[in-house]
């Protein structure tokens, strides 16, 4: 961006601040860096901005590989009455979401095996509509079933920096929703590459949902 002075020490911070306040969704370092003066250190500027807002009414938080301003946790109760009431998920949807979060990538059959009951199409449709799960790919097994995983919106809604921050592992084990040893996928980025046993989706319109 030629209209900005790359030597101005506060310019990068001001641009980051404006972009993050204006965006309804978390922004990645790459998205933010595209608007900064040439030669600006994006990560250093993000760290500096996060320190500047630490202890204030809003904090700069990380959600996966993206960043956003969010109300400070100790003040969130002040805004609850103003927040739009979100869709209430059924027990089946909550259980399915938990299984996908902790076992992703997971197929419908794998989810049903863990829950012990069939997963209705409506349940998967609701979770897809919330934007909390997505179609990842197809498992390299007969029938090539679709695999599901969580999204950046899932992390943002539940206030998680990464999947490693998922809470309640012991509770989920007790409820039978998590195997005794968490899978290695728990530590992978939510938007990571397909696993070696997954193929990319070729046609979203014809994919299993």
pTM here is 0.57
| CA 83 and chain centroid, separation | 20
Provide the 3-class DSSP secondary structure of residue 86: coil
- Beta carbons of 46 and 16 less than 8 angstroms apart: yes
pLDDT tens, position by position, 9-21: 578 888 898 998 8
Average pLDDT over residues 2-10: 51
Percent over 70 (pLDDT), the chain: 72
**Quick count: other Cβ atoms within 10 Å of Cβ 130?**
17
Bridge partners for 138 per DSSP: 146, 199
Residue 209 has pLDDT above 70, yes or no: no
pLDDT tens, position by position, 149-170: 998 888 888 878 788 777 665 6
pLDDT tens, position by position, 127-151: 998 889 999 889 888 888 999 999 8
Q: Do 11-82 and 91-206 agree at the fold level?
A: yes
In this prediction, residue 127 carries a pLDDT of: 92
Instruction: Give the architecture-level CATH label for domain 11-82.
Output: Orthogonal Bundle (1.10)
Instruction: Give the architecture-level CATH label for domain 91-206.
Output: Orthogonal Bundle (1.10)
In this prediction, residue 204 carries a pLDDT of: 43
Query: DSSP state, 110?
Result: H
Residue 40 to residue 7: CA distance in whole angstroms? 9
pLDDT tens, position by position, 62-100: 888 889 888 777 766 555 544 444 557 788 888 899 889
Domain ranges of the chain: 11-82, 91-206
Percent over 90 (pLDDT), the chain: 12
């Amino acid at each position: 961006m030629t209209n900005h002075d790359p030597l101005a020490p506060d310019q990068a911070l001001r641009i980051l601040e404006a972009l993050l306040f204006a965006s309804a969704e978390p922004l990645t370092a790459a998205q933010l860096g595209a608007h900064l003066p040439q030669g600006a250190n994006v990560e250093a500027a993000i760290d500096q901005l996060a320190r500047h807002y630490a202890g204030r009414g809003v904090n700069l938080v990380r959600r996966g590989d993206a960043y956003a301003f969010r109300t400070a946790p100790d003040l969130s109760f002040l805004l609850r009455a103003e927040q739009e009431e979100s869709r209430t998920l059924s027990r089946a949807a909550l259980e399915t979401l938990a299984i996908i979060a902790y076992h992703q990538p997971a197929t419908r059959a794998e989810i049903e095996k863990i829950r012990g009951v069939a997963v209705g199409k409506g349940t998967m449709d609701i979770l897809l509509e919330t934007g909390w799960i997505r179609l990842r790919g197809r498992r390299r097994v007969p029938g090539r079933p679709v695999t599901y995983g969580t999204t950046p919106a899932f992390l943002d809604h539940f206030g998680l920096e990464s999947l490693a921050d998922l809470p309640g592992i012991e509770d989920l084990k007790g409820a039978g929703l998590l195997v005794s040893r968490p899978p290695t996928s728990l530590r992978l980025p939510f938007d990571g590459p397909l696993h070696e046993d997954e193929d990319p989706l070729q046609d979203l319109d014809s994919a299993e949902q």
